[in-house]
Structure 1
Amino acid sequence: MHDDQREIDEQVVRELVDEQFPEWRSLSIRPVPGFGTVNAIFRIGEDYTARFPLTGEAGPTADTLRREATALAELADACPFAAPQPVAAGRPGAGYPLPWSVQTWIPGAVATPDSVSRSAAFAGDLARLVRALREAPTRGRAFGGRGRGGDLRDSDDWMATCLKESVDLLPVDRLHALWERMRTLPAPGRVAMTHGDLIPGNLLVRGDRLVGVLDGGGFGPTDPALDLVAGWHLLDTDARAVFRAGIGSDDLEWRRGAAWAFQQAMGLVWYYRHSNPAMSALGRSTLHRLLGDDHIGRA
C-alpha cells in the first residue's frame, strides 16, 4: 500500500512472540484481514492482538507507540463501549526492524458503509460514543500541529494533490467547488477529546449495534467536529439525522464535520485505488453521501 512499506508474515510474528514473550509460545498466530493501512495486525491466541507498523524508523516509531499506549488507556477509560487496552511492547527482531505493540482483542464484526447505513439504533450508539469522548477532560491540552482536527485551510495543498490525482476518477469540478466552501468555515473556538479516526474499520458491531472501538492511539484534543466523519462514512440520510440529533450539533459544527469527512475521503479514492480497493471504495461512498446531501453538497 505504501512505497516504503515493511513486510511481515506469520512466521516472523511467531519468531518475535516466541523470543520476546515465551509465555505465549503455545498460543496460535493468525493474521487479521481488514481496512488496516498503518499496521499489519495478527491475533495471538484468543485474547491479544499484535500490531506491526508498516512504515517508519525505529526511534520515532518507539516514541509513537509510547504515546499511543497512553492514549489507548485514556480512551478505554472514557469509552462507553469495549476498547483495546495496551498489554506489552515488542522490540525489533527476526528481520523486522521496528518496535511493535500488543493489545487486548475486542470481538465484533467491522462496520461497513452498507451494513449499518440505515440503522437508527447504530446511529444512536455512535452519538453516545462521540458525546462520551467529548466529555473526557482535556487536562489543559490543546491541538498541536497541522492537519485533521485543526485549521481546515492547512489541508489546501493536500486537497490540490487529491483533486489533481482524481481527474479521471471523480467529478473534480464539483468537488473543488465544495472544498472552496468548506475550507473557510470558521474555527470552533474550543477543542474537545476525540477519537480522531472514526472510519468504519475502527468500529465493531454485533448485528446493528456498536460494541467496540478500535485504534484509539490518536485520542486527543481536536476540533470537536472531527469525529462526525463517522456519520458520513457509515450512515444514509435518515440515520445521519438521528446521529446529528443525538449529538446536538449546530449548523457550523455539522458542516465542519462534513469538511473533515471530505478531506479524508478525497485521499482514500486515488491513493488506495490499486493497493486497497476497499478503502478506495469507502472514499467514493463517503463523497457520494456528501455530494448528495441537500444541506452540504448542494449549498
Structure 2
Amino acid sequence: MRASTMHADEMDHDVPLVRRLVAAQFPRWADLPVEPFDSSGTDNAIYRLGGDMAVRLPRRPGSAAQVEKDLRWLPRLAPLLPVPIPVPLGEGEPAEGYPLPWSVYRWLDGENPSADRLTEPSLLAKDLAEFVAAFRRIDLPDGPPAYRGGPLSMLDAPTRAAIDELRGVVDTDAAAAAWETALKAPGWAGPPVWIHSDLMPGNLLVVQGRLSAVIDFGTVGVGDPACDLIVAWNLLPAGVRNDFRTVLQIDDATWARGRGRALSIALIALPYYKDTNPVFAANARHVIHEVLADHENAA
C-alpha cells in the first residue's frame, strides 16, 4: 500500500511494514501499538509508536540522508535552543522490503499552527524570534551547508519557471516584480550562521498559542540567516511581522532576501503540491498573497 503519496519516487509504507521493522530491530518496542499519523510533511512519513515515540520513514531516497544528519547534529543542537527539538532514540536499517534507513524519535506534543487560527500571534512572534536568535548564536564547528543557505540567485531559474507555470492561478506579473526586487537586495556578506532553514508551519508545534517545539531538521546547517525569516510570511500576520523583525534587528537587505526566499518556496511548491498536499498548497497560496501585499505596500 502507498499512503499519502506526494512524489513519483515515493517508497511504499504502511502499518504492517512499520510493525515488522520495529519488531525485528527494536524488539523491546515490538508490542507497542503503531498508528499512522496524518502529516503534511513532504520528506518523511510519520507513525506513532506507543504513546511517546514516533517512527519516521523517509518518503523517497533523496530524504534518506536526513537520518544520519539528525543523529549527528540534533543531540548537539538540542541543549542550545529555547524549545524542545526531536531527540533520536534509534536508527533503523533497510529491511522488510523497505530500502532506506529510518529512525525512532521521542514524540513531541503540540499541534501545527495555522496562519488563520493563531490565538497568541504577538507572543508567538516573540517565541519564534527568540528561537531564530538562539540558532544564530550557535557556535558549533564544521556545520554542513544549509539546504537553503546559499545566494538567492541560485533559485532564479526554478522560481521563474514556477511563475510561468502559475499563469492564470496567481498574479504572475506582481510575483515577477516582487522576485526581481528580492534579487536586487545585497547578498549576505557576513560569515555563515546556523539556520533551521525550513521554518514552515508544518515544522512548528504550539501549545495554547505559544511555540512548544520545532521539528524536522533535514535542512539544518550554516548559511544566509535570511532563510529563517520565511516564517514572517508563511505564518505571522502582518500586524506582528515587524515585531518579529525588530527583536531580531534585521537590516533591509536581509529582510528583502527573506521575503524573496518565502516567495520562491511558495511559487515552486504550489504547482508541485496542489493535488497531493492540500495543506502545503494552501499555505503556499497564503504566502504568495502576503508577500505580494507586503511588496506593494513597500513600493
TM over 0.5: yes
Match of 1:212 in 2: 213
Shift of 1:237: 1.1
Match of 1:12 in 2: 17
Match of 2:172 in 1: 172
SS at 1:82 equivalent: coil
Match of 1:112 in 2: 114
Alignment-mate amino acid for residue 5 of structure 1? E
**Contact persistence 1:265–1:287 (CA under 8 A):** yes
Alignment-mate amino acid for residue 189 of structure 2? G
**Contact persistence 2:83–2:212 (CA under 8 A):** yes
Percent of residue pairs bearing the same amino acid type: 36
Which whole-Å CA distance do the structure 2 matches of 1:263 and 1:49 have between them? 31
Whether 1:27 and 2:29 are equivalent positions in the alignment is no
Shift of 1:196: 1.3
Match of 1:189 in 2: 189
Shift of 1:231: 1.2
**Contact persistence 1:118–1:236 (CA under 8 A):** no
Instruction: Select 2:86's aligned residue among 84, 87, 95.
Output: 84
Q: Deviations over 1:44-100 (max 9, x none)?
A: 11221111111117xx83x44212322222331221001111111111122212111
Cα RMSD after superposing both structures: 1.8
**Contact persistence 1:118–1:235 (CA under 8 A):** no
Alignment-mate amino acid for residue 56 of structure 2? R
Match of 2:68 in 1: 66
SS at 2:280 equivalent: helix
Alignment-mate amino acid for residue 88 of structure 1? G
Match of 2:159 in 1: 159
Instruction: Select 2:61's aligned residue among 53, 56, 81.
Output: 56
**Contact persistence 2:120–2:209 (CA under 8 A):** no
Q: Deviations over 1:108-133 (max 9, x none)?
A: 11111222286101111111100111
Match of 1:251 in 2: 252
SS at 1:205 equivalent: strand
Which whole-Å CA distance do the structure 1 matches of 2:119 and 2:282 have between them? 15
Which whole-Å CA distance do the structure 2 matches of 1:141 and 1:203 have between them? 22
Alignment-mate amino acid for residue 14 of structure 1? R
CA 1:12–1:223 in structure 2 vs 1: closer, same or farther (change >3 Å)?
Answer: same
**Contact persistence 2:32–2:49 (CA under 8 A):** yes
Which whole-Å CA distance do the structure 2 matches of 1:114 and 1:79 have between them? 27
Match of 1:139 in 2: 141
Unaligned runs of 5+ residues in structure 2 are 1-5
CA 1:297–1:15 in structure 2 vs 1: closer, same or farther (change >3 Å)?
Answer: farther
Alignment-mate amino acid for residue 39 of structure 2? G
Match of 2:286 in 1: 285
Shift of 1:138: 4.4
Q: Deviations over 1:153-196 (max 9, x none)?
A: 11111112211221131111111111111123211112211111
How many aligned positions are there? 293
In the TM superposition, 1:213-252 aligns within 5 A as 213-252=214-253
**Contact persistence 1:75–1:219 (CA under 8 A):** no
Which whole-Å CA distance do the structure 1 matches of 2:97 and 2:153 have between them? 41
SS at 1:193 equivalent: strand
Shift of 1:197: 0.5
Alignment-mate amino acid for residue 115 of structure 2? P
Match of 2:3 in 1: none
Unaligned runs of 5+ residues in structure 1 are none
Which whole-Å CA distance do the structure 2 matches of 1:3 and 1:170 have between them? 25
Which whole-Å CA distance do the structure 1 matches of 2:296 and 2:159 have between them? 18
Match of 2:263 in 1: 262
**Contact persistence 2:81–2:135 (CA under 8 A):** yes
**Contact persistence 1:115–1:208 (CA under 8 A):** no
CA 1:203–1:142 in structure 2 vs 1: closer, same or farther (change >3 Å)?
Answer: closer
Whether 1:127 and 2:132 are equivalent positions in the alignment is no
Normalising by the residue count of structure 2, what TM-score does the alignment of the two structures yield? 0.92
Normalising by the residue count of structure 1, what TM-score does the alignment of the two structures yield? 0.92
Which whole-Å CA distance do the structure 2 matches of 1:216 and 1:142 have between them? 12
